[in-house]
Amino acid sequence: MPELPEVEVTRLRLEPYLVGRAFTQVVLRTAKLRLPVPAELPFLLTGKTVHAIVRRGKYLLFDCGEGWLLVHLGMTGFLQLLTGPSLPGKHDHVEFTFDDGRILRFHDPRKFGIVTWFSGDPLRHPLLAEIGPEPLGDTFVGDYLFNVSRRRKVPIKQLIMDSGVVAGVGNIYANEALYRARIRPDRPSGTLILQECSELVTAIREVLEGSIGEGSSFRVAEETAAYHPQSFKVYGRGGEPCFTCGAPLDEIRLGGRSTVFCTICQR
């Protein structure tokens, strides 16, 4: 599933080619993904120019002047940028053609993604309005996490994966950040002291920035996208030796998600 670094890498990949370009054609090959795709999207976009591409959490927002194209990659989606026409694949659901001949295709086998339009302030869209601060932004600091975690019994891993608390920290990077901060993922959030919250905020920043810096995701072929080519310290390594102490990593389920940690190094 694409997480925040993959979405940011996608934004960085598309920005140089699409900003300043105008839509010349929009083709809809499905009426509904996770939400209905607006039938009027070809009319709304054709002739408009992309002024900027920004990210909010795991959403990509294309500033089209009179409104915003909102895209969420869902669980299996990716955006493929082509230099010219080619036959669409089975799961190529939406296609945008630009004035330089490039084509942007939204490919999503499981159809859990979102492609929609909003003419107002995109941050007030119902999908975005309740999202918490950006983990790489200035307002996500130790004091904030400490205050929001007070009297909370929910495991800290589930708290930092709550998009209402902080935007876009998914399962992979929550595992990695908690290992880096030496905090057990199943600890009740309210037991963390301020120093631990500050260290966890730093760890979240480091693992996200490191993944973005590695170009986290994109090796895109016609039918697949490899989102996580890099190696991880704990994610996907249950039962294997801890890189720090050598003890076998424990694997449990928290909130229905695989959770891997070291019972020796993480407290």
Q: What residues act catalytically?
A: 2-3, 58, 257
Identity of the amino acid at 96: F
Question: Which is nearest to 223 in space by CA: 117, 92, 134?
Answer: 92
